């Protein structure tokens, strides 16, 4: 198997409560699965080994998902595994529309390989997500947000969580549901991951 191996996590399952637009037209779990599958397929077409971490439609617990990532890390070495978790942001609890919008990515607070991966994803976002708001934390050199999210904190490989626009913002939801938006989000991930591999592994 060609290394590194890319694991695309699509958080949440069919029965996850909330995680939808206020009008119910958008479900994070279904969207993230479609996007993850398309990212994996396109990476494969470009000669990159990539898998979906959660193929099930049901909710697979964070503990179980971390267990799957760590099994890959043990088998192939943590430097040879790259995790990207695909999510959508929300400003509220899903009961009302809000004004916050845009794309962002998160890593854990420490400066690690994950930050390098995030920088490539931000560069790709600037290119692929044209005319959309990109939420930058500090600047070009330190664009990603930092949070001790469970899947990032408990996995030992390079890991980034992308928050792909807001599911409680009207304009973002229209974009997320459009083929243009889906294709752009997929392209952003594929390009960012491929540039990261080119610069860090080849």
For the CB of residue 11, give the shortest distance to Zn ion in the complex, in Å.
5
HEC sequence for the chain: CCCCEEEEEECCCCCCCCCECCCCCCEHHHHHHHHHHHHHHHHHHCCCEEEECCCCCCCCCHHHHHHHHHHHHHHHCHHHEEEEEEEEECCCCCCCCCCCCCEEEEECCCCCHHHHHHHHHHHHHHHHCCCCCECCCCECCECCEECCCHHHHCCCCEEEEEEEEECCCHHHHHHHHCHHHHHHHHHHHHHHHHHHHHHHHC
Query: Among 11, 22, 143, 181, which residue interacts with Zn ion (rule: CB under 5 A)?
Result: 11
Site string for Zn ion, 74-103 (x = CB under 5 A): -------------x----------------
- Contact call for residue 33 and Zn ion (CB under 5 A): no
Segment interacting with Zn ion, rule: CB under 5 A, options 4-12, 48-56, 123-131, 170-178: 4-12
- Window 156-185: residues binding Zn ion (CB under 5 A): none
9 versus 115: smaller Cβ distance to Zn ion: 9
In the complex, minimum distance from the CB of residue 91 to Zn ion, in angstroms, rounded to a whole number: 13
Number of residues located near Zn ion, criterion CB under 5 A: 2
* Closer residue to Zn ion, CB minimum distance, 33 or 87: 87
Least gap, CB of 200 to Zn ion (angstroms) = 27
Site for Zn ion, rule CB under 5 A: 11, 87
């Amino acid at each position: 198997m060609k290394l590194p191996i890319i694991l695309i996590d699509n958080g949440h399952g069919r029965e996850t409560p909330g995680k939808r637009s206020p009008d119910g037209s958008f479900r994070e779990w279904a969207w993230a699965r479609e996007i993850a599958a398309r990212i994996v397929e396109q990476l494969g077409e470009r000669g990159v080994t990539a898998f979906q971490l959660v193929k099930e439609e049901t909710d697979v617990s964070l503990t179980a998902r971390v267990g799957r990532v760590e099994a890959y890390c043990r088998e192939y070495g943590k430097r040879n595994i790259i995790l990207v978790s695909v999510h959508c942001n929300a400003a509220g609890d899903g009961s009302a529309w809000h004004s916050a919008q845009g794309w962002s990515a998160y890593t854990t607070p420490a400066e690690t390989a994950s930050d390098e991966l995030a920088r490539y994803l931000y560069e790709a976002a600037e290119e692929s997500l044209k005319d959309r708001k990109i939420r930058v934390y500090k600047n070009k050199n330190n664009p990603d947000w930092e949070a001790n999210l469970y899947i990032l904190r408990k996995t030992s490989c390079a890991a980034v969580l992308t928050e792909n626009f807001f599911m409680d913002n009207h304009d973002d939801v229209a974009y997320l549901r459009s083929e243009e938006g889906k294709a752009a989000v997929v392209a952003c991930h594929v390009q960012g991951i491929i540039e990261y591999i080119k610069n860090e592994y080849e």
